[in-house]
Amino acid sequence: MDALKTISSECMKSETPKFSVGDTVKVSVNIREGERERIQMFEGTVIAKKGSGIAETFTVRRISYGVGVERVFPLHSPNVKDVQVVRYGKVRRSKLYYLRDRVGKAAKVKEQISK
């Protein structure tokens, strides 16, 4: 068990961004298309964080052309280059799955005044 912990601690990124559920984030993702690589931005609201250690993931939701799009990102993946917090949200839940049923202004999360 200790061997697994040491291996996973070596693979983890040294500096993880500080964000929580309800925050609006911009995730820079490395996309490989054949031989070429490019960085794609995915901006949306964090609706869930899951797991711990090397297996920690977070789910980001946004509305694209009227359709809800959700992506699950591993926090310590080498393909996730950067996570920038655009705004901090004020929520009282650990999972915001109820936003899937909301449309328009009802799907917004209030902004936290100071952090």
The H-assigned helical ranges of 12-114 are: none
Per residue of the chain (115 residues), give pLDDT as tens: 677 777 777 766 667 788 999 999 999 999 999 999 999 999 999 999 999 888 899 999 999 998 999 999 999 888 999 999 999 999 999 999 999 998 888 888 888 886 6
Give the residue extent of every domain in the chain: 2-102
Order of all β-strands in the sheet with 57-64: 67-74, 57-64, 36-50, 24-33, 80-87
Q: Which pLDDT does position 14 carry in this prediction?
A: 67
Can you give the pLDDT at residue 45? 95
- Topology of domain 2-102 in CATH is SH3 type barrels. (2.30.30)
Beta carbons of 83 and 42 less than 8 angstroms apart: no
The whole-model pTM stands at: 0.84
By the 8 A CB rule, do 57 and 70 touch?
A: no
Tokens of 33: 């298309």
